[in-house]
């Protein structure tokens, strides 16, 4: 069996190990026996409640969000032929954060809870649409337009922060943007999962297109790839999956950048082969980061987005150094 065939299985095993660890590790030390008994027992117990209503939904959400980020990063790096591409590059993550923040702080989510993920999605799709409308003609313009849209959404987010109804709301807005899986429940999963799964399904079909694009846009077109359709599908897939994920968890950076690079040495440089392992490893990385937020005992909760950034930023430096070495 070749390394490229084994890699998805290894990534799946790493993910499974992370899931098991996430069920047994938390801020409160509950004995594994109590947790297993709580899971299996039909009678409500505190240990059962902790595992079924807190740790399990948290793990499921981490898998969905991490897979969205990993798969989106992998597709975008292939589509844009840029090793630094990640979901944030198209502005969809910031767009989702903007939509969600507006719904929360101007009272819409109180009237109708679905408005937070829905507005998050609307924000993601609008930001992605804007990116495509301005930069959809070529890879370079798409990246530039994505940066412009990111800047614009960040500016509007800052404006929302500026006009927060009160200082407490401003504080909460800041904290929310640091990203977290804490206090998420099955309700959040029910709201976001349909969109995330739809986005993942779209992105999963893009293997052939990103393979063809690795040869260049002209060659891809000659191989029958409709570039406009491919870009629209990629934006839609990233918008749905990362948009829905961000609207529930807040902004989580670097997973989309790091996961494809970690699997690439094992599967070779055919972009389609990185898709599934990137999704699995993205999920495992996010779960591991979430476990770290629970285990590092701090007076204030260490936010998930902070952990992924602290770990991801050095990786970014490493990537730059590596690119400098291989660049002609």
Among 1, 300, 324, 327, binds other proteins (CB under 8 A): 300
Q: Which is nearer to other proteins, 96 or 202 (CB)?
A: 96
Integer angstrom CA distances of residue 297 from 42, 141, 294, 314: 32, 44, 7, 23
Binding piece for other proteins, criterion CB under 8 A, among 5-13, 44-52, 85-93, 209-217: 44-52
**Comparison of 299 and 321: residue with beta carbon closer to other proteins:** 299
Cβ-contact 97, 108 below 8 angstroms? no
Tokens of 78: 């292939």
Residues from 62 through 101 that contact other proteins (CB under 8 A): none
* CA diameter of the chain: 66
Distance CA 115, CA 164 (A): 18
Minimum distance of other proteins from residue 309's CB (angstroms): 18
What residues between 101 and 140 interact with other proteins by CB under 8 A? 104-105, 107, 109-110, 113, 116
CA distance 17 to 284: 8
How far apart are alpha carbons 105 and 53 in whole angstroms?
26
Would you count residue 323 as binding other proteins (CB under 8 A)?
no
Least distance in Å: CB of 250 to other proteins? Answer: 10
Per-residue DSSP letters for 86-134? -GGGGTHHHHHHHHHHHHHHTTHHHH-TTHHHHHHHHHHHHHHHHHHHH
What count of Cα atoms within 13 Å lies in the side-chain half-sphere of residue 9? 6
The verdict on 50 binding other proteins (CB under 8 A) reads: yes
Residue closer to other proteins by CB (options 58, 261) is 58
Contact 67, 307 (CB under 8 A): no
The residue within the footprint of other proteins, chosen from 185, 205, 219, 222 (CB under 8 A), is 185
Question: Taking CB under 8 A as the rule, does residue 168 contact other proteins?
Answer: yes
Q: Which is nearer to other proteins, 34 or 217 (CB)?
A: 34
Q: Give me the least distance between CB of 125 and other proteins, in Å please.
A: 23
Binding site for other proteins (CB under 8 A): 26-28, 30, 44-46, 49-50, 53-55, 104-105, 107, 109-110, 113, 116, 165-169, 172, 175-176, 182-183, 185-187, 298-301
């Amino acid at each position: 069996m070749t390394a490229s065939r084994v890699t998805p299985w290894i990534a799946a095993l790493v993910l499974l190990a992370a899931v098991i660890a996430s069920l047994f590790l938390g801020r409160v030390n509950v004995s594994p026996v109590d947790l297993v008994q709580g899971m299996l027992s039909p009678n409500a117990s505190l240990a059962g409640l902790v595992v079924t209503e807190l740790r399990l939904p948290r793990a499921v959400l981490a898998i969905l969000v991490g897979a969205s980020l990993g798969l989106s990063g992998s597709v975008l790096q292939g589509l844009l032929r840029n090793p630094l591409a990640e979901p944030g590059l198209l502005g969809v993550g910031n767009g989702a954060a903007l939509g969600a923040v507006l719904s929360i702080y101007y009272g819409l989510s109180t009237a109708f809870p679905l408005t937070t993920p829905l507005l998050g999605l609307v924000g993601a799709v609008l930001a992605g649409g804007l990116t495509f409308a301005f930069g959809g003609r070529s890879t370079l313009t798409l990246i530039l337009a994505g940066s412009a849209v990111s800047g614009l959404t960040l500016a509007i987010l800052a404006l929302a922060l500026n006009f927060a109804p009160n200082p407490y709301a401003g504080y909460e807005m800041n904290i929310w943007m640091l990203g977290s899986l804490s206090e998420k429940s099955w309700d959040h999963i029910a709201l976001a999962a349909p969109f995330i799964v739809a986005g993942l399904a779209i992105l999963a079909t893009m293997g052939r297109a990103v393979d063809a694009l690795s040869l260049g846009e002209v060659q891809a077109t000659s191989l029958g790839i409709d570039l406009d359709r491919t870009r629209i599908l990629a934006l839609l897939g990233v918008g749905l999956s990362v948009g829905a994920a961000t609207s529930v968890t807040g902004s989580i950076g670097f997973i989309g950048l790091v996961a494809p690079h970690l699997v690439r040495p094992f599967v070779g440089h055919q972009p389609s082969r990185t898709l599934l392992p990137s999704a699995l490893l993205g999920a495992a990385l996010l779960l591991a980061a979430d476990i770290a937020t629970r285990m590092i005992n701090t007076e204030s909760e260490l936010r998930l987005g902070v952990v992924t950034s602290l770990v991801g930023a050095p990786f970014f430096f490493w990537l730059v150094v590596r690119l400098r070495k291989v660049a002609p």
